[in-house]
Amino acid sequence: MRLIERYILARVGVSFVVVLVTLIGVVYMTQALRRLDLVTAKGQTVFLFLKITFLAIPSLALIVAPFALAIAVVTVLNQLNSESELVVINAAGASPSILLRPLMAVGVAVGIVAFLLAHWIGPAGLRALRAETTQIRADLVANIIKPGRFIEIDDNLTFHIRDRLGDGSLAGLLLDDRRNPEESFAYLAERGEVLRALDRTLILMHEGTIQRRTPSGEISIVEFQSYGFDLTSLMPAASNPVYKSTERSFSELINPDPDDGYAQANLGRLRSELHDRFMQPFYPIVFVLVVLVFLGEARTTRQSRGLGVLAALIGCFGIRFIGFAAVNISITKPLVTPLIYLVPLSAGAFATWLIVTDRRLETPRVISIGVEKISSWIASRFGGNGAAA
């Protein structure tokens, strides 16, 4: 690889990482806010909140990576044009491959990562996320322990806490146990925590007392530093989470379990998900080719450069939008399934032909005139005011 190709490769690679991290951060915040209600309502810890939100990052990266690459390539090519580097490359009579090779190298690398994310890492993360959220929703202790409220968790068994701390521990515990008619117990503790080990669930209380009362009114008090109260018998039987199509492994998609109710009721969804995963690695490569068609040559005016950027981004978003639509429609209409492959592959093939034959795809004149009028209107509205000031 030549020096100029390594230079372009490095710039695109750095730009891609920056854009990818930014987009993932934005999307992650929206997803995290959705999970925040679940975690806070169930009184879970900050660590668990971070854990379940980070499990979704591989799937988020799979969705935004092609767009991040398209934006990175647009940015770098636009900068090369602004700094007249594209002019020098074209004037030197360099072949189109001088740009194609480094950009395709990045596209293929991102495609390989997308393949791993689509088939293994992403579904595994979503599967773990589903298991965690199912466990949170089925967690009896998380559902019943509400600060400031007296909750009867079983007949004649009442629980109360003053507060739940950020690390998940409990403050100001009161447990009133009157299930045995021969004697009753009142447990009071300064603090406590819920522990799960060896298929058992305990409330471990610290620095408290146990008050034992008999029907005759006799009371005995015992102080303790630590005491465990077993809640295992009160816990519901563990429920198996139902995994959606995006959360299933490749083998589960290609060979659904005949005893799996969700799979048998959603065979079309599983089929569409499988085809979509096959095509995910190709979108980064197609996006690189589309951007290169519009911005691979030097542009002499700012207007033509802006139109090229706009056309490239619209082309990429349009291809992916049609791909998403084909996946969703093919769930109920299997005849649409070939479009999942046809749309990106035909766009990539057409873009490759334009690049190899050194043809230029011009922006339609109607769009050019429209953009020119809008630019003139903006200049007249704001440029004149700025000059007068």
pLDDT at 386: 45
Q: Which phi and psi angles does 330 have, rounded to 5°?
A: -70, -15
pLDDT digits (tens, 9 = 90+) for 304-353: 677 888 889 999 999 999 999 999 999 999 999 999 999 999 999 999 99
Give the number of C-alpha atoms closer than 13 A to the C-alpha of residue 193, restricted to the C-beta side: 11
User: Dmax of the chain from CA atoms?
Assistant: 105
pLDDT higher than 50, residue 387: no
pLDDT over threshold 60, residue 12: yes
Whole-angstrom distance, CA of residue 151 vs CA of residue 157: 8
What pLDDT does residue 143 have?
Answer: 57
Taking all residues of the chain, what is their mean pLDDT, rounded to a whole number? 84
Residue whose pair of structure tokens reads 């298929």 in the numeric block: 199
The lowest-confidence range among 10-24, 56-70, 146-160, 367-381 is: 367-381
Q: Please give the pLDDT value at position 96.
A: 62
The whole-number average pLDDT for the span 2-6 is 85
pLDDT at 133: 78
Is the distance from CB of 291 to CB of 312 less than 8 angstroms? yes
Q: What pLDDT sits at residue 238? A: 54
Pairwise pLDDT comparison (286 vs 376), residue with the higher score = 286
Task: Report the pLDDT value the prediction gives residue 88, as an integer from 0 to 100.
Answer: 75
State the Cα torsion 203-205-209-214 to the nearest 10°. 10
Q: What is the pLDDT of residue 364?
A: 64
Average pLDDT, stretch 223-242? 77
* Domain positions in the chain: 3-137+243-383, 145-234
CB atoms within 10 A of CB 384: 10
Q: What is the pTM of this model?
A: 0.75
Q: Which of 136-140, 202-206, 238-242 has the highest mean pLDDT?
A: 202-206
- Return the pLDDT at 36: 66
Percent of the chain scoring above 70 in pLDDT = 81
Higher pLDDT, 282 or 33: 282
Q: Is pLDDT at 117 greater than 50 in this prediction?
A: yes
In angstroms, the Cα distances linking 16 to 56, 72, 73, 140 are 20, 5, 8, 45
Residue 379, number of CB atoms within 10 A of its CB: 11
Bridge partner list, 289: none
Q: Per-residue pLDDT for 168 more than 50?
A: yes
167-190 as b/e, with b when 16 or more CB fall inside 10 Å? eebbeebebbbeeeeeebbbbbbe
Q: Which residues have CB under 8 Å from 376's CB, separation 6+?
A: none
Q: Is the pLDDT of residue 1 over 90?
A: no
Tens of pLDDT, residue by residue over 250-300, are: 999 999 999 998 999 999 999 999 999 999 999 999 999 999 998 887 666
Is pLDDT at 377 greater than 70 in this prediction?
no
Predicted confidence at residue 82, as pLDDT, reads 81
CA–CA distance, 357 with 347 (Å, rounded to integer):
16
Highest mean pLDDT (candidates 8-17, 31-40, 196-205, 354-363): 8-17
Residue 131 in this model has a pLDDT that exceeds 60 = yes
Closest CA to 211 of 225, 223, 227, 228: 223
Q: Is the pLDDT of residue 207 over 90?
A: yes
Cα–Cα nearest to 72, from 142, 144, 13, 2: 13
Q: What is the pLDDT of residue 110?
A: 98
Q: How many C-alpha atoms does 222 have within 13 Å on its Cβ side?
A: 10
Place 389 in a pLDDT band, splitting at 50, 70 and 90.
very low
Least confident of 12-16, 213-217, 334-338: 213-217
pLDDT at 147: 81
Answer yes or no: is pLDDT of 368 > 90. no
Q: Which residue has the tokens 């690889």?
A: 1
The span from the CA of 159 to the CA of 183, in Å, is 18
Residues 6+ apart with CB under 8 A from 321: none
Give phi and psi for 148, each to the nearest 5. 80, 0
| Residue range 76-96, pLDDT digits in tens | 998 888 877 777 776 666 666
